[in-house]
Amino acid sequence: MKISTIRAMSITVFVLGIAGMIVGSIADNNGTAIAFGIATALAAVCLVVATASQNPPRLTFDESTAQNLESTIRDLVSEGADEKELRDLVKQSVELGRGAVESR
pLDDT digits (tens, 9 = 90+) for 88-98: 999 998 888 87
- Are residues 46 and 15 part of one domain? yes
pTM attached to this predicted model? 0.52
- Are residues 46 and 14 part of one domain? yes
What residues make up the domain containing 8?
3-53
pLDDT digits (tens, 9 = 90+) for 24-83: 999 999 999 999 999 999 999 999 998 888 877 676 778 898 899 999 999 999 999 999
- Are residues 46 and 16 part of one domain? yes
Q: Is residue 93 within 8 Å of 69, Cβ to Cβ? A: no
User: Higher confidence at residue 36 or residue 2?
Assistant: 36
Q: Is residue 24 within 8 Å of 31, Cβ to Cβ? A: yes
User: Higher confidence at residue 89 or residue 104?
Assistant: 89
- Are residues 49 and 9 part of one domain? yes
**Looking at the domain assignment, is residue 58 inside a domain?**
no
Report d(CA 69, CA 97) in Å as an integer: 15
User: What is the structure's pLDDT at 94?
Assistant: 85
Report d(CA 13, CA 1) in Å as an integer: 17
- Are residues 45 and 7 part of one domain? yes
DSSP letter string, 28-83: T-HHHHHHHHHHHHHHHHHHHHHHHH--PPPP---HHHHHHHHHHHHHHHHTT--H
- Are residues 14 and 46 part of one domain? yes
